[in-house]
Structure 1
């Protein structure tokens, strides 16, 4: 999450399997090239802060909550990042309210 929030593409990709899929706003980004581009550009037109809400483990992986406040439409959002793992690497991330 730290690498993602800081748009540190290389560090974020190092946590993902080569075939990983990220779903954000209903769109799938598959593999390091698409996900790297998404990390570098997602919400880059907005300024916002994030606050860790909490995390729970699930049968599939980890569900992490994050509170965002900023100059994006609506100004406030609570998002869930649902991580699925393949061994030590993340194979899927679904971001949704």
Structure 2
């Protein structure tokens, strides 16, 4: 993008890597989800940082078993050529019961290099 302005996009315009990660995460398919990350990837979630695919795999395994929840994609945005935001509404048995989270992706070589999840 040349104007550096965030653009709203639709889920079907997200890069395939992000769509594959989101689908795998929603269905608790850790084996597929981990293939969407670079080997040096970093995930920041709930105040914790996970570096490298092994730490990310452990985080994914924990996040799929800690709580029962539904997740619904409510919006997407492309902020520059390699950065995307996917906003989700979660409802479940975690503290508070509902939350809207922004999954902020940075891609490198068509893989996720950085993922920040925050309200």
What TM-score, normalized to structure 2?
Answer: 0.77
Larger-gyration structure (1/2): 2
Q: CA RMSD in A?
A: 1.1
When residues 14 and 43 of structure 1 are mapped into structure 2, their CA distance, relative to the original with a 3 A threshold, is closer
Q: Give the equivalent residue in structure 2 for 1:73.
A: 95
Query: Normalising by the residue count of structure 1, what TM-score does the alignment of the two structures yield?
Result: 0.94
1:46 deviates by 1.4
Q: Unmatched 5+ residue regions in structure 1?
A: none
* Larger proportion of strand: 1
Aligned residues: 97
Deviating above 3 A after TM superposition, structure 1's stretches of 4 or more consecutive aligned residues are: none
Shift of 1:9: 1.5
Task: Tell me the distance in 1 between the aligned counterparts of 2:46 and 2:86.
Answer: 17
Higher share in helix = 2
1:1-97 equivalences under 5 Å are 1-42=22-63, 44-59=65-80, 60-97=82-119
